[in-house]
Structure 1
């Protein structure tokens, strides 16, 4: 128990991210309320929240819904592990690996099928960086532990480089965009909808996206105690996510119109971003967790995980 606590402290210090606001420390009575954590880029959960879908469906089960926004994925899963929230919206495939290394007790409840082109390494259109090898010695901005982090590792490896060959700038999306615009960084590794926004609003060039490098599968999780106590609630949430994912792909203009004011983006930017995400919500199967182990091994090799992780040894719903 003490070792798990030490690992968790080290991991949180490593990432240095905080939620947008403090969450209540006390645990509520299991089942009375489902507390859902999400990020700004949590598309399907944002649609459900905006429409009030889960309030309606879970209200029939006598369950209240509360919403808790986070700036990034790892503190979201840390909140899940300590009982501050019950269900997590989608996080990048890298995030559960870090949470596992910290001893988190989490259950996969669903995954989105791969969306490799929804994240990319971008440079200014007039940059002298033409190939991945040109990143040597350059200052590259990205969010630590995000899918972008693994994309960068995989891209550098393809070019015969490692993280030690570049200057690292750990930046959350908003800070990364600001640094990129003022040329404080030479390249930026980012995901949608932030990727679509910078492509439409600035003169940029995609050095590479995730195709052939990183599948970028996003995962929905629950705390293991909540998944065991209220599988009926989890089932309703997963079914709503599946329906919403189909709606976003079948009605791209309507979905973009709904999301644009929530995200503070224009409709065409949201539509471009959504076109690159699969939004196919499916069950998590052991044979679909292979890349999770690759991610875990890559981070371990870079000295970013405190111990070796069996990335497939996670309960599934």
Structure 2
């Protein structure tokens, strides 16, 4: 597993800053107007290349980093200004914001990320969180009084999923594992905000979803799981606007280095992380504690060849299932900052 080198990254950024100062210091001194113009251009260039905008959904590491304030301080020490875009209700809207130049970086599951790339969104993969097979952060849930006890009971039933997202992928993989034809279960395409009331009110029979919705459904609405671990755990990916990766590579690298440290903090400060989660998504302390436990330790790394191959396998399966409109070459979607 590749390890981050914060010291090396910091040294590179300091060296880059020093070089910029050295070059600007060589401006000829025989004209005050020339000096002023050159300085203005230098300031404009620095302002453009040192800004990084972090997009986020509720419940992720980015809003926790925003609340803590440490990431912004670390970036500021490297002459990089952090701005925040969000919260967005789901990956699809976050990725649209990145493509629309409203944010530079955002984290999503690999399924919606691959769907966005296949749809032509101008983004690349800058960092990943590897799957944890033992994680309980995704599940198919049903109402507490439902007769559905196992995946086989879903035959003939309606299951809410987010189209071309993690929910649809989870359902299809569960059905595949249980040798159940996908045509025997009706997929109802709903965003989480619509799927939750649909389940509670009985419009759908089950819901394929992820945290924090699982813990909210269980602890506040009496829902229960009919699956535990994921039959095909997925990656989380940090996606970057291509223009930002090309024009501000050092800011992107510094942001990922800082976010990696935020994950390290989260892993060793679970109680405090739960407190931040309560503030971020307005859930009860009991739900927040359960979410943190179900997610388990998280680590942000630069994708290696094995990661690329595994994500490619997922993308090819999605193409076979007609979830993707065309094949995605994953290796070609890795950001230059991650190579």
> What is the RMSD of the two structures over their aligned residues, measured on CA atoms?
2.1
The number of equivalent residue pairs is 287
- Note the alpha carbon deviations across 1:173-193, whole angstroms, 9 max, x for none: 222111111111100111111
| Partner Cα separation in structure 1 for residue 259 and residue 330 of structure 2 | 24
Q: Which residue of 2 aligns with 1:187?
A: 206
Q: Which residue of 1 aligns with 2:237?
A: 219
> So what's the TM-score if we normalise by structure 1?
0.83
- Note the alpha carbon deviations across 1:65-119, whole angstroms, 9 max, x for none: 322222221232233234332111x201102211221233323221112244210
Q: Which residue of 2 aligns with 1:104?
A: 121
| Partner Cα separation in structure 2 for residue 290 and residue 209 of structure 1 | 26
Q: Which residue of 1 aligns with 2:4?
A: none
Residues 57-66 or 144-153, more deviating:
57-66
Q: Which residue of 2 aligns with 1:207?
A: 226
Cα deviation for residue 135 of structure 1 reads 0.9
Q: Which residue of 2 aligns with 1:12?
A: none
User: Which residue of 240, 245, 249 corresponds with 2:263?
Assistant: 245
Q: Residues 142-157 of structure 1: matches in 2 within 5 Å?
A: 142-157=161-176
| Partner Cα separation in structure 1 for residue 330 and residue 200 of structure 2 | 36
Cα deviation for residue 151 of structure 1 reads 0.9
| Partner Cα separation in structure 2 for residue 96 and residue 176 of structure 1 | 21
Equivalent pair of 2:139/2:228 in contact (CA under 8 Å): yes
Q: Residues 1-317 of structure 1: matches in 2 within 5 Å?
A: 30-41=48-59, 43-69=60-86, 70-88=88-106, 90-115=107-132, 116-211=135-230, 213-277=231-295, 278-315=297-334, 316-317=338-339
| Partner Cα separation in structure 2 for residue 183 and residue 71 of structure 1 | 23
Cα deviation for residue 293 of structure 1 reads 2.5
Residues 181-190 or 268-277, more deviating:
268-277
* 3-state SS, counterpart of residue 207 of structure 2: strand
Equivalent pair of 2:274/2:285 in contact (CA under 8 Å): yes
Equivalent pair of 2:50/2:248 in contact (CA under 8 Å): no
Q: Which has the larger radius of gyration?
A: 2
